[in-house]
Amino acid sequence: MMQLPLIDTFGRLHNNLRISVTDRCNIRCFYCMPAEDVVFMDRQDLLTFEEIERFVRLVVPLGITELRLTGGEPLVRRDLDKLVQMLAAIPGITDIGLTTNGLLLADQAEALHAAGLRRINISLDALDPVKFKQFTRREGYEQVRAGIAAAQRVGFDPIKINAVSVRGMTEDEIVPFGHFARETGIEVRFIEYMPLDADNAWERNKVLYAQEIIDRLSADVMPLEPVGDQDPHAPASDFAFADGVGRIGFISSISQPFCMSCNRLRITADGKLRNCLFSMEETDLRTLLRSDAPDEQLWTAVRASVAAKKEGHEINTARFVQPLRPMYSIGG
Ligand code: SF4
């Protein structure tokens, strides 16, 4: 039976599903997790690989073609390459990406690539090991660099670095990341700090805006120019240095929200569908999946979630309320 695509009340077509496979992580970034005493989900609460596979097979007819695996830290979930293989085998899935902190990547890069993964985003907020530890509250900088080298060696393409920018912390990282992008050919994306931390400590005056970073790179490295081949649905705005060497992206959720071109849905590791990163509501799919509910019931639940999607986050309004679920249990 032909299914209608997932179009919300603002006319946005949804074809991208982000799948959080765990809320566990091996570091403690302050803009995401509490420093200590984190309560993680029990294993039996996590969707199994088979349940994730069933759900993806079910939403392909609704128009989902792109998947991104996230966490917590997805590489702490055992045998992740097996899940990649299962998802890559689903007809209609054209693209699978992964967002990782890179600490375990050097050991898993080959198996993930062999399983069908092609694109990878690596979270790294600083090229200074001391600053790295300030952000993550853990060691591991060299492991991440080894993970990046392994990803290049194995042939992932594209490889992108996600660097969260925080005022008073990362200004000194801007120019080094500019040179890093030029020397390695790896795109660096600066992400404006968002209110999704577990400690509810986000402050607007800690946001380092994309335009400030563009100005800094243009002055101290080389002028940046917007690139033409932008994916209209991608969260990042892409630039290249004037001589064409090195690409820089900006995910400017605060200063230039991109909600009107959003094509993303998210499923949490415990099977809750979220129509937006900042959604206050969730749809429990795990109960349906575990009660062998017919496909129609799950389609109806997914459609209802899309139909209820708001115009966008309300961070720049007085109405904004930070979601109860922190970033590590939603996934990027
Ligand atoms: S904030 Fe929500 S609506 Fe906006 S781009 Fe992110 S997920 Fe989409």
Domains and CATH numbers, the chain: 16-330 (3.20.20.70)
Structural contact between residues 276 and 313, judged by C-beta atoms closer than 8 angstroms: yes
Structural contact between residues 202 and 278, judged by C-beta atoms closer than 8 angstroms: no
pLDDT band at 228 (very low <50, low <70, confident <90, very high): confident
Q: How far is residue 327 from each of residues 162, 198, 291, measured CA to CA in Å?
A: 15, 7, 28
> Does residue 35 register a pLDDT over 90?
no
As a whole number of angstroms, the distance between CA 230 and CA 247 comes to: 12
pLDDT (mean) for 57-67 = 97
What sign results for the dihedral spanned by CA atoms 233, 236, 242, 244?
negative
DSSP letter string over 58-104?
HHGGGT--EEEEESS-GGGSTTHHHHHHHHHTSTT--EEEEEE-STT
> Does residue 180 register a pLDDT over 90?
yes
pLDDT at residue 39, as a whole number = 93
As a whole number of angstroms, the distance between CA 278 and CA 320 comes to: 9
Amino acid identity at 214: I
Query: At which residue do the structure tokens 């970073």 appear?
Result: 213
> What count of residues does the chain have?
332
Q: Is the CB of 277 inside a 6 Å radius of any atom of ligand 1?
A: yes
User: For residue 285, how many C-alpha atoms fall within 13 Å in the half-sphere facing its CB?
Assistant: 32
Structure tokens at 260: 């009107």
Q: Is the CB of 264 inside a 6 Å radius of any atom of ligand 1?
A: yes
Q: Residue 321's CB: how many other CB atoms inside 10 A?
A: 9
Sort strands 187-192 and 237-241 into parallel, antiparallel or unpaired: unpaired
Q: Is the CB of 210 inside a 6 Å radius of any atom of ligand 1?
A: no
Looking at every residue in the chain, the average pLDDT score rounds to: 96
pLDDT (mean) for 229-242 = 87
Query: Would you give the DSSP letter of residue 48?
Result: P
- For residue 130, report the distance from its CA to the centre of ligand 1, in Å: 32
Q: Is residue 290 left, alpha or beta, with left meaning phi > 0 and alpha meaning psi from -120 to 50?
A: alpha
> Does residue 277 register a pLDDT over 90?
yes
As a whole number of angstroms, the distance between CA 315 and CA 332 comes to: 17
pLDDT (mean) for 274-294 = 96
> Does residue 2 register a pLDDT over 80?
no
pLDDT at residue 220, as a whole number = 98
Q: Is the CB of 262 inside a 6 Å radius of any atom of ligand 1?
A: yes
Instruction: Give pLDDT tens digits for 306-323.
Output: 999 999 999 999 999 999
pLDDT at residue 95, as a whole number = 96
| Residue among 255, 276, 309 to mutate when testing ligand 1 (max atoms within 8 A of CB) | 276
pLDDT at residue 234, as a whole number = 87
Three-state secondary-structure class, residue 175:
helix
Q: How far is CA 261 from the centre of its chain?
A: 16
> Does residue 114 register a pLDDT over 90?
yes
Specify burial of residue 229 (Cβ count, 10 A radius: 0-12, 13-18, 19+). Answer: exposed
Determine which residue's CA is closest to atom 6 belonging to ligand 1: 277
Instruction: Give pLDDT tens digits for 23-33.
Output: 999 999 999 99
Structural contact between residues 121 and 162, judged by C-beta atoms closer than 8 angstroms: yes
Burial 19-55 (b: 16+ CB within 10 A, else e): bbbbbbbbbbbbbbbeeeebeeeeeeebbebebbbeb
Instruction: Give pLDDT tens digits for 130-160.
Output: 999 999 999 999 999 999 999 999 999 999 9
As a whole number of angstroms, the distance between CA 61 and CA 64 comes to: 7
Structural contact between residues 73 and 101, judged by C-beta atoms closer than 8 angstroms: yes
Q: Is the CB of 103 inside a 6 Å radius of any atom of ligand 1?
A: no
> Does residue 332 register a pLDDT over 90?
no
Extract the runs of DSSP E, i.e. beta strands, from 138-219: 159-165, 187-192
As a whole number of angstroms, the distance between CA 157 and CA 4 comes to: 32
> Does residue 128 register a pLDDT over 80?
yes
As a whole number of angstroms, the distance between CA 97 and CA 119 comes to: 5
Structure tokens at 128: 């200074």
The helix (H) or strand (E) run that includes residue 253 is: none
